[in-house]
Structure 1
């Protein structure tokens, strides 16, 4: 019984061919044939053809599916199923040029417009041809073709080794993938020993695994790296013994190319150990490394920890890009002071550590001095940074790594605490000097701000403690404006809703700055509430009336007075700004205008009637 399979996507064409086959079967009773299977796409057809018994006739429609056309399938079928006769059906409107195709088993080309008589003649001719063939031979040949197809189209490099009586290994066959991966042509491999192909040294390494397979008489797996004409490759290889009469006579090998995977794993391992921003070793690596490195052979061992004091403050006061630049500069200094076999690591968001092997106490002192000098030059927006730097030289095996590092961190805490006082903080002093150098323009004020604060303290009869807080409030209240887009502070026009929202955030930044220094604790609430309005419409907490601290109610008048008398851009409210110096009469008028809404009415009266005329 000859088998016919159709691969036709067009339903009308499918039904036409099916009816023609049924009619031909009735008219040609001397031939035994059947329509075994119908497919509408190439993929399912291929799955069937590879897995089923050989098919005698394939009737294929020339259609396009996933950029795969009938001619493509014909070419594939011509190669993979040479014993099958191929009949191609095509649309009469389509021009077919088969002059460049060599398809030996193409029986006929059938136009979709051709009639039954033409179809019958083609089927008759094809049936006669197939009747003359030996079905058993054809089936065996088809099997061999299928096996060859499977082997040649796998992604693994497959090879067959033959073993002679002297235990020499000869290559008997390789598949197409083997050539593609190794660059070794079949004619240069088949019949040769591993030594003849790869040389004695590489052959010895390879034959050790082959011999293991022979001795154990079972499948073995291993990874190998071999230099081929196509380049160095890394393979995961499996060897399968072919046992005949109790002896291993042949070995089938399958090698999966894992060169790129090995490279990816090496790269992944590198990045698992590294900090993404700075490129230094990360915290996890450092924590695993330190206990291992504290051994007698590495002594004396120097461990240094660097802490960027108040890094979170830098992040909030300045841009992320500027803060990250500080991290990168610090990392570069740490890396530069470590040798190739030593470790520089980022151990937390704002801390770095150095582990230096076999360094003397004298070297330690020199490194510490250089480190501190170079860190002193690191600045953000021209302002120096506070760095707490501590280090120890470990001369003996004890204490253990955990205790040793804990002692170092205790020293670091004390060192960091020292910078929490404004007088000891290079960063705080740098900020104040930068503001003063700008004559307070950096924070949207005039050059007489502190002088006027002192004067207000006197006129409003503040006691000593209140006066100190009031002057500190004047000095620090708008320090958060350093983190604003300077285009907002210089706009000279009404702020947009987004700009006004951003402008209001300077309060939070100022309060964050204050909270960092323990000697400024007393003015935290004053700084945080210096934009509360008397009628409760201010920010951030909408405090109203006497719930607003007394010093804040006085300061709101000073804040306004200093801004409008200094000829600077002053975004007073979202819908109101000043950009020119006002005279006393105008200032009094504006204060009266907002008396009871923005400002404390009693304090406005006192200022306008008693203070303003005298200043």
Structure 2
């Protein structure tokens, strides 16, 4: 199970993205109401672990599963809410009644307008038990060393005073040593004792296995005799620290360090031990903590990295701003960057293509920025770059390199276009937040000026894609545009209406860009499922057109161009004059052109037969007045 934290000002969209990520890892996620401790959200991993039905778990308070009292729990919630403490160790009760040790990381946030604690739970019962056992072993080890010395001392006294009891005491000592050895050997951690010359006096089974030698091969030898020099030097380093501390301060302090060796991490606990001859040796307790360290690394990675682009995330960026906002780092420049046209790509080609565009933009930015710069995804389509010790002039050079890289993608299926803003802090008294805001405002202004052009290019690219998918589409649009102009003139449309009708003739089927090519070109009858996919294209076309100010004027007409006069059309089942006027016009033109030209699934019909069909459908499929005008137009040509 994985643990991740989110800062209080991360957007809710980022929360949802991170929830999706953690769900994939199977971590237990809870959203807890800051005010009353009610559980607002629990993911599938949490439901499965606690074994409550989901509805029941979501009706519970967090204190219902925590063995702390509600009052104590309220105190912990307040600590997390105020960010005085974010890491907790609790005991939780499962539905079965079993008590488990739970490690919790909890940070304040907002979710759908509700102040919550974004909390990730990790079952650490096995680890807690192991640590408790290790503590007992360490305590026993320390006591045992003392007892051995004490017993040997007593044995020496008795030897001189009561020689006749020597045999009995010796047997007892041997029995004690056997019990002691058995207990120590049962521990998975490495335990040993060295004399003042760093020769081994004692090792447990785990230590012997680590060296791949028997105990007899180790006892009486030093590290250089039983292992390679590199490892022996590493061992001797901490041994010497114990001795140095003892010689300098005469204190028997315990030294604890983390040591990496052969892709593993060990927690090394060493301490001085006074031996029978009055000299000092070194005792050690070594625990393999690789799994814990790896888990912490993964937690830290998820905490500070964006799951999609693998860049740093907003939380890391904000912490770095605070850390680097010093006089020594001046001037500090900030670049804000926003990917143009992402919503249009998501609506037209799907979120997978949108994600690919974000990854592409992230990689482009990574190529341009310097190693010392902090590049982060702020969420959604926004990126930010923190440039310490960088003047505005130098930052502008980086912006030019970004724009040059963007231009290199213009010939690709989905080009990268980025709106950019730059601001620089030059004086210590300037607010870094204000500088960030200035960069964001400049980026927004640039985005407004560039976005329209970008979206037009995307729409043209979509039309080209549709042409490639369906061979007749380009010719179909050209024919419809001519017919629309002629029919518009006959109906007396204004210049602006004529322009909209022409645009509608070009874009009415743009929603089909999301339909698989095999469906568009299928020679036979469509299945019910395929037909439902086809019927979805007016809504998709509406979303595409709505995302661009230039094409939004025909979005409603695109949505309604398959509605019927009698209300039986799709997708909105609009009826009569509730159907937009231009949509009623284009539906007649579209039907006529489809009937009179060959398609992969049908043959073309003669012009007169097509007009008869339109006449027959007047009042049911088509506006009867417009149908009559159209028939008159075609017959008088």
TM-score by length of 1: 0.66
Partner of 1:29: none
CA contact (8 A) 1:160 1:250 kept: yes
| Aligned-partner Cα distance in 1 for 2:213–2:237 | 19
Once residues 290 and 600 of structure 1 are traced to their aligned partners in structure 2, the CA distance between those partners, rounded to angstroms, is: 63
1:224 pairs with 2:253 = no
Asked whether the equivalents of residues 534 and 598 of structure 1 are also in contact (C-alpha less than 8 Å), the reply is yes
Using the alignment, how far apart are the partners of 1:537 and 1:380 within structure 2? 43
How do residues 364-375 of structure 1 correspond to structure 2 at under 5 angstroms? 364-375=395-406
Q: What corresponds to 1:585 in structure 2?
A: 608
What does residue 37 of structure 2 align with? none
Aligned to 1:11: none
Distance 2:370 2:454 in 1: 37
Counterpart mapping for 1:10-89 below 5 A? none
Which residue does 1:176 correspond to in 2? 205
Over residues 147-182 of structure 1, what are the superposed CA-to-partner deviations in whole Å (9 max), with x where a residue is unaligned? Answer: 43332232110113456xxxx665310011012234
C-alpha contact 1:508 1:528 (8 A) present in aligned 2 = yes
Decide which of 476, 489, 494 is 1:445's aligned counterpart.
476
SS of 1:518 mapped into structure 2: coil
Q: 1:302 to 1:357 in 2, by over 3 A?
A: same
- Check conservation: 1:390, 1:408, Cα contact below 8 A: yes
Show CA shifts across 1:171-222 (max 9, x none): 3100110122345764564345679887678535334346768979878462
Are the equivalent residues in 2 in contact too, given 1:158–1:177 (CA < 8 A)?
A: yes
The reply to whether residue 315 of structure 1 matches residue 339 of structure 2 is no
Q: Is the 8 A contact 1:422 1:517 kept in 2?
A: no
Match of 1:306 in 2: 337
Q: Which residue of the other structure, out of 580, 596, 599, is the alignment partner of 1:549?
A: 580
What are the superposed Cα offsets for residues 343-401 of structure 1, whole Å, 9 maximum, x if unpaired?
22222232222333444555434332221121123359735454212223443345322
**Matched residues in 2 for 1:361 and 1:233: separation?**
45
Match of 2:6 in 1: none
1:138, CA displacement in angstroms?
9.5
- Give the aligned partner of residue 148 of structure 1: 181
Aligned position for 2:241: 208
Alignment partners' CA distance in 1, 2:349 and 2:292: 42
Q: Per the alignment, do residues 445 and 180 of structure 1 end up closer, same or farther by CA in structure 2, a change over 3 Å counting? A: farther
The residue number in structure 2 matching 1:190 is 219
Preserved CA contact (<8 Å) 2:455 2:548: no
Distance in 2 separating the partners of 1:604 and 1:209: 99
Which structure has the highest helix share of the two? 2
Q: 1:233 to 1:555 in 2, by over 3 A?
A: closer
Which residue is equivalent to 1:281? 312
C-alpha separation between the residues in 2 aligned to 1:360 and 1:404?
Answer: 13
Q: 1:141 to 1:203 in 2, by over 3 A?
A: closer
| Alignment map for 1:319-358 (pairs within 5 Å) | 319-358=350-389
| C-alpha separation in 2, matches of 1:531 and 1:151 | 81
Cα deviations across residues 216-271 of structure 1 (Å, max 9, x unaligned)? 987846223266xxx475322345777899x9977653211123433453354345
> Could you tell me which residue of structure 1 aligns to residue 526 of structure 2?
495
RMSD between aligned alpha carbons?
3.9
Structure 1 position 599 matched with structure 2 position 622: yes
- For 1:28, the equivalent position in structure 2 comes to none
Q: 2:287 aligns with which of 245, 250, 256?
A: 256
Alpha-carbon contact 1:301-1:394 (below 8 Å) kept: yes
The superposition leaves residues 275-302 of structure 1 with CA deviations (integer Å, 9 ceiling, x where unpaired) of 3332322222222223323434333444
CA distance in 1 between partners of 2:470 and 2:445 (Å): 35
Are positions 1:611 and 2:626 aligned together? no
Counterpart-to-counterpart distance in 1, 2:362 and 2:628: 58
* Structure 2: gaps of 5 or more residues: 1-166
Residue 297 of structure 1 is aligned with which of 328, 342, 346? 328
Q: How does 1:123-142 map to 2 (within 5 A)?
A: none
Measured in 2, the distance between the counterparts of 1:295 and 1:185 equals 58
Which of the pair has the greater relative contact order for Cα pairs under 8 Å at 6+ separation?
A: 2
Q: Is the radius of gyration larger for structure 1 or structure 2?
A: 1
| C-alpha distance in 2 between matches for 1:437 and 1:495 | 20
The partner residue of 2:560 within 515, 522, 529 is: 529
Task: Tell whether the 8 Å contact from 2:420 to 2:442 is kept in structure 1 after alignment.
Answer: no
Q: 1:102-128: per-residue Cα shift (whole Å, max 9, x none)?
A: xxxxxxxxxxxxxxxxxxxxxxxxxxx
| Secondary structure of 1:445's aligned partner | helix
How far is 1:542 from its partner?
A: 0.8
SS at match of 1:313: helix
> In the alignment, does 2:447 pair up with 1:427?
no
Q: Distance in 1 between matches of 2:189 and 2:523?
A: 71
The offset of 1:433, in angstroms, is 6.6
Residue number in structure 2 paired with 1:16: none
User: Which of 354, 375, 378 is the matching residue for 2:409?
Assistant: 378
Partner residue, 1:118 = none
**TM-score, normalisation: structure 2:** 0.64
Among residues 423, 430, 441, which one is paired with 1:410 in the alignment?
A: 441
**Corresponding residue for 2:191?**
158
Q: Secondary structure at the match of 2:478?
A: coil
Does the 8 Å CA contact 1:152/1:176 hold for their aligned counterparts? yes
Separation in 2, partners of 1:536, 1:588: 22
Give the conservation status (yes or no) of the 8 Å contact 1:219–1:240: yes
Kept after mapping to 2: 8 A contact 1:386/1:426:
no
SS at match of 2:336: strand
Number of aligned residue pairs: give it: 466
Contact 1:446 1:566 (8 Å CA) reproduced: no
1:462 match: 493
Question: Quick one: structure 1 residues 226 and 509, their matched pair in 2 at CA, closer, same or farther if it must change by over 3 Å?
Answer: closer
Map Cα deviations across residues 502-550 of structure 1 (whole Å, 9 max, x no partner). Answer: 1122222211122222344433322222211122111121111222222
